[in-house]
Amino acid sequence: MVMIKNVIKIQNGEIMVFDEYGEQIPEYQGHCDGVRESILRDAPPDAVFSHWFGDDAEPRIISREEW
């Protein structure tokens, strides 16, 4: 089973999800409204949640609750 390691929400509401090897996990990617619940259900406690908005050079790590 592929494990969610990093979840990044970008400014337009799209979600990028990566496993522990840095590979994208297509089944969890899409607009936040369509994938949010499955990500929150399936992500392990040590998964990293981030926002990457505007011209930021890197994503900003946030809490799972804030995400």
* Bridge partners for 52 per DSSP: 10
**What pTM was computed for the model?**
0.90
Per-residue confidence (pLDDT) for residue 19, from 0 to 100? 97
Residue 63: is its pLDDT beyond 90? yes
At a CB cut-off of 8 Å and minimum separation 6, what does 42 contact? 4, 28
Q: What are phi and psi of 49, to 5 degrees?
A: -105, 140
The string of pLDDT tens digits covering residues 19-61 is 999 999 999 999 999 999 999 999 999 999 999 998 888 999 9
- Report yes or no: 19 and 60 within 8 Å, Cβ to Cβ: no
CA distance 62 to 59: 9
Residue 1: is its pLDDT beyond 80? no
Instruction: Using the Cα atoms of residue 66, residue 30, residue 57 and residue 59 in order, give the sign of their dihedral.
Output: positive
Per-residue confidence (pLDDT) for residue 55, from 0 to 100? 86
